[in-house]
Amino acid sequence: MPDYKAPLREIKFVMDEVLDMPGHYASIPAYAEVATPDMVDAIINEGAKFCENVLAPLNRVGDTEGCTRHEDGSVTTPTGFKEAYQQFVEGGWPSLAHEEEHGGQGLPESLGIVMSEMVGTANWSWGMYPGLSHGAMNTIDLHGTPEQKHMYLTKLVSGEWTGTMCLTESHCGSDLGILKTKAEPNADGSYAITGSKIFISAGEHDMSGNIVHIVLARLPGAPEGTKGISLFIVPKFLVNEDGSVGERNSLICGSIEHKMGIHGNATCVMNFDGAKGWLIGPENKGLNCMFTFMNTARIGTALQGSTAAEASFQGALAYAKDRLAMRSLTGPKAPEKAADPIIVHPDVRRMLLTQKAFAEGGRALVYLTAQQNDIVKKGEDEEARKAADELLGFLTPIAKAFLTETGLEAANLGMQVFGGHGFIAEWGMEQIVRDTRISTIYEGTTGIQALDLLGRKVLMTQGQSLKNFTKMVHKFCQAEEGNEALAGMVKQLADINKEWGDLTMKVGMTAMKNREEVGAASVDYLMYSGYAVLGYLWARMAKVAQDALDAGTTEEDYYKAKIATAKFYFARILPRTKSHAATMLAGADSLMDLAEEHFAF
């Protein structure tokens, strides 16, 4: 397995130098005194030790052992998982970015994202257990009654209990409007929840004292479709009035899914047989409330893409420096050895630099979304909060879909660097591919995110959400127009920024004549958008690096590497937008003309 080393210098570069997190925290009164530079550094450094020394060694254990379901429906997690979770709870990590009134530490969500990145890169399967709890906490905090918050939040925040989201069913997929799970009113004000939910990550396990399921179901007489869905809190164990765990609820893990990857996480079929649940939020507004959970999960899944790129890059880079094969085309670079290290070969460098560009660019994008989330949650300026909310809404589908697609690409490239050894389990590179493959599927597939971006976020706002972002890019390009060190990047970015708007207009015009054009163009539109957003962030990173070099620094090699990676991105990655532009304008006919009956084999 690759040895995970938390990229602390990279994390601090994005936080401190690109996004000015110290200034950001100081500007928000709720964070000014708690998220001081010393406190932030201490948390990140301690988190890195836990992830490197405790979680990373369990990554392959989880993959090879998997989870075990017993006759009574209970589940045992892989060796060491439960003990690691207890250390996690004892260290106070679950409560990091939650409200103090519920036992949290009141630190920023963006700092929690940094910890989540390190956890996820070290051991994604393990990280899903506490990771799902964040969405449950956010949902109860925003939509629950005071009584529900008192009963569930403190234990969830402390990590004593964990949470899940129970959305889809075997016949649904992403079309939740056709779900069948029922919620019948009980005399005591609770509801009897009956139905089966599938793909429930961390649905059953032995790591916490209770599991709080957030479940979508239909009330009697509810309207059909998504307008008739309500949301319920359904705990594994009922909770007594004093907050202690009571009798077992009428729900059980029917089976564990046999999966391509993330074997260390119990992905369950959960059967609810008249289980007691309590309504959260208004009747028939469950999907609206659940979006709180899903949006949390979507940023978390975006993070999976960048963590996969980081983990695979770390493994591939170490191997490329050590593995000897062939000689450089310009003459031996290690004449004292039998062959040169493969890092001297241009194609290996292409793969490594692609991984590096996606890992570092992806980190910047995820941290940017987390920064906006801080403002939405705790900012005191109403206009700033509104702008941050709109930017977050625009960036979320891009981050989720683009970073998972490119993260999977980076993971595959890591295997390729290893050659035949990449296909062998002991090296751990193929596990990264298998674990990452799900990221483009769950929490809404790439296609679903693309429709959300183009259909809802862009066209339904008459392009306003896009304009808000492209204005930011335009201002950056204007400010750096005379910067000779960045001249090529700035011109290329400005051209793409303008083309982005032009393409949106063309797609919108064709969609007015044929709505199928939205679906036909959407994935290419999203990928184009992702490359453009990362182009903007790489240009910003290059400017920061150049400014540091101009000012004089003891880290010349570090900043020069950052500029070299930015130049690689603009020369070899950003031009991919050209093919996406052509394809999104190709029209729906080439997709829809073939009659269904002619899809023969």
Neighbours of 8 (CB within 10 A): 15
Is residue 561 classed as helix, strand or coil in its secondary structure? helix
- List, in sequence order, the alpha helices (H) in 93-228: 109-122, 124-143, 146-148, 154-158
Amino acid at 291: F
| CB of 214 closer than 8 Å to CB of 231 | yes
Catalytic residue (choose from 169, 390, 430, 443)? 443
Distances from the Cα of 103 to the Cαs of 92, 96, 153, 155, 175, in angstroms? 10, 10, 8, 9, 36
d(CA 481, CA 263): 50
Q: Is there a contact between 399 and 383 (Cβ–Cβ < 8 Å)?
A: no
Q: Is 182 helix (H, G, I), strand (E, B) or coil?
A: strand
Pairwise CA distance, residues 508 & 523, whole Å: 15
Residue 195 pairs with which residues in a beta bridge? 272
Closest Cα partner for 586 from 512, 523, 492? 523
Q: Distance between alpha carbon 295 and the CA centroid of its chain, in Å?
A: 10
CB 202 within 8 A of CB 265: yes
The answer to whether 268 touches 75, Cβ cutoff 8 Å, is: yes
Residues facing 587 on adjacent strands: none
For 79, 99, 120, the CA distances from 126, given in Å and listed in that order, are 11, 24, 8
- Look up residue 488 and give its amino acid: G
Is the Cβ–Cβ distance between 39 and 115 less than 8 Å? no
Residue 65, judged by CB atoms within 10 A of its CB (0-12, 13-18, 19+), counts as: middle
Catalytic-residue membership of 383: no
Neighbours of 494 (CB within 10 A): 18
| Cβ neighbours of 177 (radius 10 Å) | 13
- CA distance linking residue 96 with residue 115, whole number of Å: 9
* Helix (H/G/I), strand (E/B), else coil: 441: coil
**The two three-digit tokens of residue 61, written as one number:** 């254990």
Chain position carrying tokens 């560009």: 357
Q: State how far the Cα of 197 lies from the Cα of 179, in Å rounded to an integer.
A: 9
CA pair distance 449, 442, nearest whole angstrom: 11
Q: Which residues are catalytic?
A: 443
